Amino acid sequence: MPSPQLSNYLRSNRKRLDLSQGEVAFLLGQESSAQVSRYEHSEHIPSLETALAYEVIFKRPLSEIFGGLYQKAEREVADRAKTLGSRADQGVAKRRVAKRAMLAGIADINE
């Protein structure tokens, strides 16, 4: 299993680019740097639109910028895929086999 990551890497990416919180706030279209601080300290999770703007600013994929959140989502989806895969079969046999293979692939992410 991969080592745990920070919830996000917003501050380190901002520092890497030598940007202030105010400058990032401006690029995000925010009124002040307070919201940027809340995102950096994981007090709030940005909207999808804001997260995508961070991806544009930092030139890094969201799964890297929000590494810890990505790992958490990956674990939760894998667990649900295992549960879904073990449920009673439904549908046509050929589709069932393909669906089981897809779910097994998702469930194996953390193994």
Mean pLDDT along residues 27-56 = 96
Q: Could you read off the pLDDT of 16-35 as tens digits, one per residue?
A: 999 999 999 999 999 999 99
Helices (H), the chain: 10-16, 21-28, 34-40, 48-58, 62-65, 67-86, 93-107
Please report whether residue 83 resides in a domain: yes
Same domain, 74 and 35: no
- 5 within some domain: no
Q: Are residues 22 and 60 in the same domain?
A: yes
pLDDT at 111: 61
What are the backbone angles phi and psi of residue 7, rounded to the nearest 5°? -55, -45
What's 27's domain CATH number?
1.10.260.40
Total domains present in the chain: 2
Residues 28 and 58 in one domain: yes
Q: What is the pLDDT of residue 91?
A: 53
Residues 40 and 19 in one domain: yes
C-alpha count within 13 angstroms, C-beta hemisphere, residue 100: 12
State whether 18 and 58 are in the same domain: yes
**Single-letter code of the amino acid located at 35:** Q
Q: What secondary structure letter does DSSP report for 61?
A: -
**Same domain membership, residue 57 and residue 29:** yes
103 within 8 A of 81, measured Cβ to Cβ = yes
